[in-house]
Chain A
Amino acid sequence: MTLYAASLGVFFATLWKRARRDQVRLFLKIFVSLMGGALLLGWLMYFFPSGPPKPLP
Chain B
Amino acid sequence: MTERKPVEHSGRALALCLLAWMVPTAGHFALGRRGRAAVFAAVLVVSVLVGVGLDGELHRVVPGQPLSMLFTLGAMGLGAPYFALRFLLGYQGVAEAAGFEYGTVFLLSAGLMNLLLVLDVWDIATGAKD
Chain A interfacial positions (CB closer than 8 Å to B): 1, 3-4, 7-8, 10-11, 14-15, 18
Contacts and interface: CB of A to CB of B under 8 A. Distances in A.
A11 B40 contact: yes
Question: B interface, by DSSP: helix, strand, loop or mixed?
Answer: helix
A18 B40 contact: no
Main secondary structure of the interface of A (DSSP, over half): helix
Given A11-B113, A15-B120, A4 B106 contact: yes
Interface bin, chain B: 10 to 19
A3 B46 CA distance: 9
Closest 5 CB pairs of A and B: A14-B39, A11-B43, A7-B43, A10-B43, A11-B113
Interface of B: 36, 39-40, 43, 46-47, 50, 102, 105-106, 109, 113, 116-117, 120, 130
Contact of A7 (B47, B116, B117, B130): B47
Contacts of A3: 46, 50
B39 A7 contact: no
